[in-house]
Amino acid sequence: MAFLSIISLIAQATAVTVPLSSTFKYVNEGEFGDYIVEYGANYRVLDPFNSPFQLCFYNTTPNAFTLALRMGTVRSTTTMRWVWEANRGNPVGENATLTFGEDGNLVLADADGRIAWQTNTAKKEWFTSKCNPMVTWFFKT
């Protein structure tokens, strides 16, 4: 019985949580980007994901957004290209959210709470790395 209590204490002590200051929640709302992009898409850039990669909600069909990554240089926004999509084939609408919670899971959910995509990294071991002065990224170890 004492052995199980010790194991329980160790498990609680090693429970992984992301510092509250490193969590975020973005809502798909507001004005679209100013530049014409490939496929005639509308997009909203998520701050502070700015350059050379931009994380965006984008759509080519009204109210059917994907979370996508594009890359290029800010000096030439017309040459930025979409290079990755999280929820292809499972779009979200206006007011969808992208949340990085204290449990370490990155979740894209529709406004009604339906999960469209997630990293499935809740309660994993993490370390932080400064990849960009504006953003602390978390990588699974």
Percent of the chain with pLDDT over 90: 34
Give residue 71's pLDDT.
Answer: 86
Domain region containing 95: 17-140
CATH of the domain at 136: 2.90.10
Q: Is 8 among the domain residues?
A: no
Q: How far lies 7's CA from each of 24, 122, 126, in Å?
A: 32, 21, 21
The answer to whether 15 and 39 have CB atoms below 8 angstroms apart is no
The answer to whether 128 and 19 have CB atoms below 8 angstroms apart is no
Q: Is 11 among the domain residues?
A: no
Give residue 25's pLDDT.
Answer: 92
Q: Which residue has the tokens 């979409």?
A: 82
Q: Is 9 among the domain residues?
A: no
Q: Is 95 among the domain residues?
A: yes
How many domains is the chain built from?
1
Q: Is 7 among the domain residues?
A: no
Q: Is 12 among the domain residues?
A: no
pLDDT tens, position by position, 84-128:
999 999 999 999 999 988 888 899 999 999 999 999 888 776 544
Mean pLDDT of the chain: 76
Q: Is 53 among the domain residues?
A: yes
Q: Is 1 among the domain residues?
A: no
Say yes or no to pLDDT of 11 above 60.
Answer: no
pTM > 0.85: yes or no = no
Q: Which residue has the tokens 């059917």?
A: 64
